Structure 1
Amino acid sequence: MIDLQLADKTHDEARQGEALIIDAPKALNARKLYIESYGCQMNFADSEIVASILLDQGFETTGDYHEADAIFINTCSIRENAEQRVRNRLSQFGIEKRRNPKLIVGVLGCMAERLKSKFLEEEKLVDMVVGPDAYRDLPQLIEQVGEGQKAINVLLSREETYADISPVRLNGNGITAFISIMRGCDNMCSFCVVPFTRGRERSRDPHSILAEAQDLFDRGYKEVTLLGQNVDSYKWKGEDESSEVMVNFAQLLEKVALISPELRIRFSTSHPKDITDEVLYTIKKYDNICNNIHLPVQSGSSRVLELMNRTYTREWYINRVDAIRRIIPDCAISTDVIAGFCTETEEEHQETLSMMDYVGYDFAFCFSYSERPGTLAARKFEDDIPEDVKKRRLKEILLKQQVTSLQRLQASVGKTVRILVEGFSKKSDKDLCGRNDQNAMIVFPAAENVAPGQYVNVVIERCTSATLLGRIAG
């Protein structure tokens, strides 16, 4: 289901403002760190790197910012309303800083480079601003703030992947984890700020990725999500036993899958121009690679896609969808959709709706176009679609997706599916929940012999607009 409240959210904003709590042992007399993360899964993975770096400096994390010695917001620049939420949050933290002048308040991540002067000088909301490639410098920056100075490092890197840092897992469930396989982005989509805030694309050493995945499995984790702005363009070149080796994403995916059939693999995000049949056949080959692909379409119009600099056409996208359906028939496909991009006509909006009908997305993150300063679209195109038209088109997209999402869930009723139990349902401690291969949430009555981290077979009996409901098979 797509809730109408998601109208102003992208998938990069679907998990906004979560305080992350470390699952590591408490250090005696440690300073306390509060991290609040906004935006995409990459930001959440970055927060785990920050926690690891600062753990070595004597910090433990806390879920209560009132007791923190340092407060960091890991930010997202995808949408204007995300920036406003961060400013509002910083104002709240400012109240706490007036009570505790030694409190350090910092902004991390994608907003840091673009808004550094505003945060530090004009609005004086923070003590430090740190970009996504400068987290190793945090101990020195914190020391600098302790000496009464403002601190800043927003330099982007062509090499930094944090491959040697073991992230501190912050979600605390001990079952699922993120693994960042690459950083940055070389796709210059005209509406997007990511290439300017995260820098050029670079892939992480596959040996370090496999070591991290193996360590997680050895510690009892049962699912990893491989993360990148465009995982399909992962490419690592190195030497192995005196010979040159090239590893692409399909090959990396296979290597991770071979760690254990009990380790479930997800990945995000794919780019339509780069996803290959080799990747699809790799997914088909291994049962532990989930049949779920996030394939952002953005628009169903080739002309609009060209303005967006997406580098594929409507026909190319359909070709990739057809390949997915042919090679992995039961694969779930999710997407991102932008309503009201510059100069979009009513006919082109209808092309987007018809694309949604053709694909039958299981889920979609839908939002109206919001101009971001510094992007190609902001420099080159006029944001000329009236807001009421954007809202109307967005509502039509959302309503269509609601219907399709429900239909896709209804198709599972009566089937028996294997799920990974993640924990208790948010609504009841008498029910457990977990996700199936297609990433749909299933809720079922708890049983004495079933615990989080186990795989179980569940018979789907019915569904709501967003959730499958069932019972343990047998």
Structure 2
Amino acid sequence: MTRPLQIYIKTYGCQMNERDSAALAGKLMRLGHAMVEREEEADVLIFNTCSVRDQAERKAVGKISYLKKLKRRKPELLIGVIGCMAQNRGESLFRELPHLDFVVGTGQLHQLPEIIASLREDRRQIARLATGSEVLTEMGVHQPEAKLSDFIAITRGCNRFCAYCIVPYVRGREISREIGDVVAEARELVANGTREIMLLGQNVAAFGWNGNVNPPPDDVSPFADLLKELQQIEGLYRIRFTSPYPSYFNAKLIAVMAECSKVCHSVHLPLQSGSARVLKAMNRQYTPEQYLQIVGALRQAMPDIAFSTDVIVGFPTESAAEFEETCQLMERVGFDNAFIFKYSPRAGTRSAEMPDDVPQAVKEARNQRLLQLLSASAWRNNRQLVGTCQEVLVEGPSHRNPARWTGKTATAKSVMFAPQPSVRRGDLHRVTIARVTDMTLFADDIPDLPSE
């Protein structure tokens, strides 16, 4: 039997990448290999990469370039790139980084153990870049240690082709798992101690709608059917999901979300712009009015719902007046959180062919303006919770101040509270909110401790 390997995995980018890295680690550990925390200890270095932004690729390439010295000291060391950058740039990475041993795209991650085994026998560079659906099921293997909250990938790829986004090109068209397959993985996680699951997909609400570009009619939602099945799992406390495309929130999905007690009342609803013209230029297939209608329908069904979003400022040709429309919509919705991005061209996307004509200083100013609006709305929303009783999923001691414990509400808000002998990590614990900031809630039974 060949010697077990010490393997180091570095992850860049989204939660899907985090899930893939954890699944890879579990798969490799089941074969007898071990995960290590330091590059110097490893026999194999794996970089799970992101291509959504050019900066993410540059960061990964810079890091791998730096490893030439380590490779010279340890010529037997295997170094590989997996994920979106591998899919996007392919075998050209071997020319840029000649010390690489393998490049594995998003559809072939499940083949990594056999690729590593092959490289131990024959040190010729290996590239695997073909698309494939097997990764969704074969990568449904997690690390042995229990996690309080864990990811389950239910879809992969995207059919939307937004003008600024590289994802459909590096992850392919939408594919979905079977409901029974997802439920079986969820049951396995819960049996190992997981209490909250996050369902992942580039367009997670399109689950089960394979091959259909347009959203389903109001009475059809395979994703809602999945939520109802997961609701039945004993020992599972909470169900979250990200990221959905707004148009998929039809009547059936909204009704099921309201009916299922385990489905959290927090929704990440990407906006991108409050301007109808800019949304059309982005190939976002909804209007600001339709977006607000979806927000209204969700709020009517779940009055306590919390919204987060994505917004891009400085998209090509965005005018000052159109940016103001975004500000107005942000204020109307009153988001609890947002990821606000300054537009930058991404090679291979449609918007890269447009003139990047909004000055960087203007992008910076618009970014700061939206951050200010977000802080104000988050604080207003949190202030309304003072005096209310909130149920938190207990995460344990705060990393910054172990004298406090922390947990999250069903609306994804962080809560600080005093530890109690009867409360353990993974419990659902009810506290009364005494004071708030725009980011954190504090319970009334917390002692007077130094501010974090």
Q: TM-score, normalised by structure 1?
A: 0.88
Report if aligned partners of 1:421, 1:452 keep a CA contact under 8 Å in 2: yes
State how far apart, in whole Å, the 1-side matches of 2:209 and 2:250 are. Answer: 17
Over 4 Å off, 4+ runs: none
Cα distance per residue 1:206-244 (max 9 Å; x no partner): 11100111111122211001111111111168xxxxxxx
1:101 to 42, 60, 75: 75
Counterparts in 2 of 1:342-353, with a 5 A limit? 342-353=316-327
Q: CA deviation at 1:203?
A: 0.6
Are residues 1:115 and 2:94 paired?
no
Q: Which of the numbers 283, 294, 311 marks the counterpart of 2:257?
A: 283
- Aligned partner (choices 57, 66, 77) of residue 40 of structure 2: 66
The one-letter code of the counterpart of 1:305 is L
Aligned to 2:197: 224
Residue of structure 2 in register with 1:327 after alignment: 301
**In structure 1, how many angstroms separate the alpha carbons of the residues matched to 2:15 and 2:131?**
20
Q: Could you tell which deviates more after superposition, 457-466 or 302-311? A: 457-466
Distance 2:271 2:355 in 1: 22
Amino acid at match of 1:151: I
Offset from partner CA, 1:399-458 (integer Å, 9 cap, x none) = 111111122222212111001011210112221111101001111111222111111001
Distance in 2 separating the partners of 1:472 and 1:39:
37
Q: Which residue number corresponds to residue 152 of structure 1?
A: 127
Unaligned runs of 5+ in 1: 1-27, 238-245
Matches within 5 A, 1:34-433: 34-146=8-120, 147-157=122-132, 159-169=133-143, 174-235=147-208, 248-260=222-234, 262-379=236-353, 381-433=354-406
Give the SS at the match of 2:392.
Answer: strand
Alpha-carbon offset, residue 339 of structure 1: 0.2
Contact 1:106 1:129 in 2 (8 A): yes
Which one-letter code corresponds to 1:197 in the other structure? V
What is the identity percentage for the equivalent residue pairs of Structure 1 and Structure 2? Answer: 36
CA shift, 1:161, in A, is: 4.4
Letter of the structure 2 residue corresponding to residue 324 of structure 1: L
* TM-score, scaled relative to structure 2: 0.92
Report what 1:10 is aligned to.
Answer: none
Query: How many equivalent pairs are there?
Result: 436
Secondary structure, aligned partner of 2:162: coil
Post-superposition CA distance 1:305-344 (Å, at most 9, x none): 0010011111111110111111111100100000000110
Structure 1 stretch 261-270 or stretch 28-37: which is displaced more? 28-37
Say whether the 8 Å CA contact 1:71–1:106 is kept in structure 2.
yes
Secondary structure in 1 matching 2:187: helix
For the 8 Å contact 1:368–1:390, the answer to whether it is kept is yes
Shift of 1:471: 4.4
Separation (CA, whole Å) in 1 of partners of 2:294 and 2:189: 32
Quick check: 141-150 or 194-203, which moved more? 141-150
Note if contact 1:223-1:264 (Cα within 8 Å) is conserved in structure 2: yes
**Distance in 2 of aligned mates of 1:161 and 1:73:** 17
Q: Deviations over 1:177-220 (max 9, x none)?
A: 10111111111101000000101101101111001111111222
Query: Could you tell me which amino acid in structure 2 is paired with residue 148 of structure 1?
Result: R
Q: Runs of 5+ in structure 2 lacking a partner? A: 211-219, 447-452
- Kindly tell me: are residues 435 and 464 of structure 1, through their superposed partners in 2, closer, same or farther at Cα, counting changes over 3 Å? same
The alpha-carbon deviation at position 92 of structure 1 amounts to: 3.5
Structure of higher RCO (CA pairs closer than 8 Å, 6+ residues apart): 1
